[in-house]
Amino acid sequence: MNSGFLFSYIDDYMKIEINKDKCRVCGACEAICPSRVFKREDGKMTVHHRHACIDCGHCVAVCHDDAIEHSSFPASKVHEINKEILPTADAVLELCRSRRSNRAFSTRSVPREMIDAILEAAHTAPTASNAQGVEYTVVTSQEHLEFIRRHTIKGYEKMYRMLSMPVVKQLIKIFAPKTYSMRKKIKRVIKEDRKGRDIVLRGATAVILIHTPRDSRFGRDDANLAYQNASLMAESLGVSQFYGGFICSVVRRDKKQIFEKHFGIDGAVQSVMALGMPAIKFHSYIDRKELKVKSF
Ligand SMILES: Cc1cc2nc3c(=O)[nH]c(=O)nc-3n(C[C@H](O)[C@H](O)[C@H](O)COP(=O)(O)O)c2cc1C
C-alpha cells in the first residue's frame, strides 16, 4: 500500500485540531502526548505529527481549555475525574492485600450487573501501543462450564500420557525436573476429577475468558493486566475469583484451537477468570514472603 493512500485514508477518519480561540498555549498537550503530535510554533500550539497519534486521548484529557478537537473523542467520551471518590493510597493497598483467590464458592450465581462492572474495570486496563484489542467472553451456562472442565481434563490426560511414555519420563526425570514434578500435579488433577472433585473450576458459577487477536505481540500481557483490574473490582464487589491456570495451560497448547472454536472466539484466549459468590470470607490478610527490591 503506498503511504500517500494510507495518509489520505487516515485523514478521512482522524481529525485533530486546535481551537485557536480557546487554546492558551499552556503546553500541556505537547508535554503529555507520547507520540509528539503537538508542537509550539511561533507562540501557537500546532498539530505537527497527526499520523503518529495512537488514540490514547491524553491530549483531550489534559486540556483545561477544552481546545483540542479530536475526532476519536467527542464530548460524550470525555468525563471529568471525580477526585472526591478516588480511594486513598491506604485504601488501594488494603484492597490489594485483601484480594485473594477465594475458591470456596456458594451455589449462588454472580449477578450480571456485577459481572458487567468487573468487565468495565478490566476494559480500563492499559494495552501495548494502546491497541485495545482485548475482548471477553462470559460463560455462565452449566453446559459450557462443563465443557471447560471436560476440555481441560482431556488436555491433561493427553499431556499425562505423553509425559508417561517410558523414554520421555526418564528424560524429563533427569533433564527437566520441573516438568517431571508437573507430571505429578497433572496426575493429581486427573485423579481428583475422577473422584468427582472438580479442581479445574471448583464450583465457579461464571467464567470470563480474556482473549486478544492471535497476532498481538503483547496479547498475554494486555490480557493479564485486564485480569488484575478485574480481580480488584471483583474483590470490591464481594465476588470471589481465581485465575484459571489449568484451563490456560491446556488452551495454550492446543494448536487446533478447539476451545476458541467452541466459543466462536476469533483470537487467542490468554487468561481465564473463574468467579462465584463466596461461601466463606477471609477476615485477615497474610504477609507475602519478604519483599525483595534492588535499587540503583
Ligand atoms: C498464572 C496463575 C495461574 C493460576 N492458576 C490457578 C489454577 O489453575 N487454579 C487455582 O485454584 N488457582 C490458580 N491460581 C491462583 C494462585 O494459586 C494464587 O494466586 C496464589 O496461591 C496466591 O494466592 P492469592 O491469589 O489468594 O493471593 C493461579 C494464579 C496465577 C497468577
Residue closest via CA to ligand 1's atom 18 equals 101
Measured from the CB, is residue 244 less than 6 Å from ligand 1? yes
Which triple of cell numbers denotes residue 164?
Answer: 508417561
Q: What percent of the chain is predicted at pLDDT more than 90?
A: 92
Asked whether residue 1 carries a pLDDT value surpassing 50, the answer given is no
Instruction: Assess whether 104 and 48 both reside in one domain.
Output: no
pLDDT mean across residues, the chain: 95
Rounded to 5°, the CA angle 120-126-132 comes to 75
Asked whether residue 263 carries a pLDDT value surpassing 70, the answer given is yes
Q: Domain range for residue 37?
A: 3-77
Look at residue 227 and tell me if it is in a domain. Answer: yes
* Residue 99 alpha carbon to ligand 1 centre in Å: 12
Contact 212, 223 (CB under 8 A): yes
pLDDT one-digit tens code per residue, 221-251: 999 999 999 999 999 999 999 999 999 999 9
64, HSE (Cβ side, Cα atoms, 13 Å): 5
Instruction: Assess whether 63 and 142 both reside in one domain.
Output: no
DSSP state of 88: P
- Which of 96-105, 163-172, 200-209 is least confident? 163-172
Instruction: Assess whether 54 and 172 both reside in one domain.
Output: no
Ligand 1 mutation target, pool 153, 242, 271, most atoms within 8 A of CB: 242
Instruction: Assess whether 153 and 103 both reside in one domain.
Output: yes
What sign does the CA torsion over 32, 35, 38, 39 have? positive
Look at residue 117 and tell me if it is in a domain. Answer: yes
What sign does the CA torsion over 180, 185, 188, 189 have? negative
- Which of 10-19, 51-60, 154-163, 284-293 is least confident? 10-19
Q: What is the CATH number of the domain that holds 32?
A: 3.30.70.20
What is the average pLDDT across 127-146?
98
How many C-beta atoms lie closer than 10 Å to residue 250's C-beta? 22
Confidence of residue 29 (pLDDT cuts 50, 70, 90): very high
**What does pTM read for this prediction?**
0.93
Instruction: Assess whether 45 and 162 both reside in one domain.
Output: no
Q: What is the number of the ligand 1 atom nearest to the C-alpha of 100?
A: 26
Look at residue 290 and tell me if it is in a domain. Answer: no
* Residue 243 alpha carbon to ligand 1 centre in Å: 5
Look at residue 295 and tell me if it is in a domain. Answer: no
DSSP state of 133: -
Rounded to 5°, the CA angle 91-94-97 comes to 155
- The whole-angstrom separation of Cα 37 and Cα 41 is 13
Which triple of cell numbers denotes residue 216?
Answer: 498481538
Measured from the CB, is residue 101 less than 6 Å from ligand 1? yes
